[in-house]
Copies of this chain bind each other. A is one copy, B any other.
Amino acid sequence: MKRLQMFGLLNKDMEALEKELYLSVQGDDHLLTETSLHLLKAGGKRLRPVFVLMGGKFGTYDLGKLKRVAIPLELIHSASLVHDDVIDDADTRRGEPTVKAKWGDKIAMYTGDYIYAKALSIAAELPNPRVHQILSKAMVEMSVGEMEQIRDFFNSGQSVRHYLRRIRRKTALLIAISCQLGALAADAEPKVARQLYNYGYNVGMAFQIRDDLLDLSGTEKQLGKPPGSDMRQGNITLPVIYTMEDERLRASLLSELELIREGLSGVGRAIDMILAGDGISRAEQLASRYIEKALTALDKLPDNRTKGNLRDIAHFVTGRKF
């Protein structure tokens, strides 16, 4: 996955941030530096830093201040991925072996701890106490979301509401505060920061729903990992829940999931069932509704060029094919 490169104005600042991101995890310990850089250098869209900078455009844009939230947010996201890959026993991410696959569970655990701590030590250079409050609260919610995910593994009885609560904690919240903290670090008006939060929240929900449905409808080449990874790990996503609501498919999908859980079947047949039903298109529709809500939040923001860019991102998320 490549960095977002659609916004001419931000490209230079994003280049600078990318370098600082690599520097941010350098330290006395060579192994920790290596393991931390491993995931960062594998790429990623840098969605959270982009949102921070764009949030900053609604106030007094100062890259020196904005990077103190942009880098921590990308690091917190990365640390959570390193820990997730331990939980999910994942071998590849962004087309590269995971830290867990290359160095083992234990080193991956401390790598995550290290990246989290580095993130906080960079944010701590900002004097604004609200930033720390918002960041640390988001980290609490994220870890609750991760725990919900473990507990819900192979829980085929979960509801759409259940799923939405989980992705809110897991993804949408961090994207929401990326927009908000960018605005706050630039001393934008509180109500602007609030609308940016709403925009980010809704884009984040749409983003995760799309991510989850692409895991079922995409190809290995598009995804950088084999399709159906979520289901293989027992992570029941929205298209699966919707497919369960189809009486013609429910029973056979349930027994297929049981076989997957027991390691007696691959995910191929289950994916075929889901693609045969309307689970994917219903999930796409829900993602689109979140995007509409994001656009409504944008309407309440003062007009500027960034607003147009945020609209483009929202459309990009709806149409993303990777």
Interface set of A (CB-CB < 8 Å, partner B): 27-29, 31-32, 83, 86-87, 105-107, 109-110, 112-114, 116-118, 120-121, 123-127, 129, 132-133, 135-137, 139-140, 142-144, 146-148, 150-151
The reply to whether B126 and A140 form a contact with Cβ atoms under 8 Å apart is no
B136 touches A110 (CB 8 A): no
User: Is B110 touching A113 in the complex (CB atoms < 8 A)?
Assistant: no
Name the one of B28, B32, B127, B133 contacting A124, with C-beta atoms under 8 angstroms.
B133
- List the B residue with the shortest CB-CB distance to A114: B143
Say whether A136 contacts B117, CB under 8 Å. Answer: yes
Min Cβ gap A65→B in Å is: 13
In contact, A106 and B140 (Cβ under 8 angstroms):
no
B144-A121 in contact (CB<8A): no
A27 to chain B, nearest CB (A): 6
The chain B residue with its CB closest to the CB of A134 is B124
- Report chain B residues within 8 Å CB of A121: 133, 136-137, 139-140
Q: Is the CB of A120 within 8 A of B144?
A: no
Kindly state the separation between the CA atoms of A116 and B270 in the bound complex, as whole angstroms.
Answer: 38
- Provide the residues of chain B in CB contact with A29, threshold 8 Å: 144, 147-148
User: Which one of B86, B114, B132 lies within 8 Å of A144 (CB-CB)?
Assistant: B114
Q: Could you give 19 example pairs across A and B, Cβ below 8 Å?
A: A31-B147, A31-B151, A32-B143, A32-B147, A106-B150, A110-B146, A110-B150, A112-B113, A113-B143, A113-B146, A114-B143, A114-B147, A116-B116, A117-B142, A118-B140, A121-B139, A123-B132, A123-B136, A129-B129
A123 to B87, CA, bound (A): 28
Docked-complex contact A109 and B87, CB < 8 angstroms:
yes
- Give A107 Cβ to nearest chain B Cβ, in Å: 7
- A117 to chain B: which residues have CB within 8 Å? 136, 139-140, 142-143
Complex CA gap A172/B80 in Å reads: 28
Q: When chains A and B are docked, how far (Å) is the Cα of A106 from the Cα of B151?
A: 11
Query: A105: which of B105, B136, B148 is its contact (CB, 8 Å)?
Result: B105
A165 closest partner in B (C-beta): B28
Name the CB-closest residue of B to A120.
Answer: B136
Chain B residues in 8 Å Cβ range of A106: 86-87, 150
Docked CA distance A106–B234 (Å):
14
Name the B residues within 8 Å of A109 (CB-CB): 83, 86-87, 109
A137 to B83, CA, bound (A): 21
Most chain B C-beta atoms within 10 Å of own C-beta, residue among A105, A117, A137: A117
Residue among A28, A116, A136 with max Cβ neighbours from chain B (10 Å): A136
For residue A151, which residues in chain B have a CB less than 8 angstroms away from its CB? 31
A124-B136, A147-B107, A150-B107 as given contacts; A113 in contact with B83, CB under 8 Å: yes
Bound form: Cα–Cα A146–B142 in Å: 23
Residue of B nearest to A153 (CB): B106
Distance, CA A237 to CA B147, complexed state (A): 35
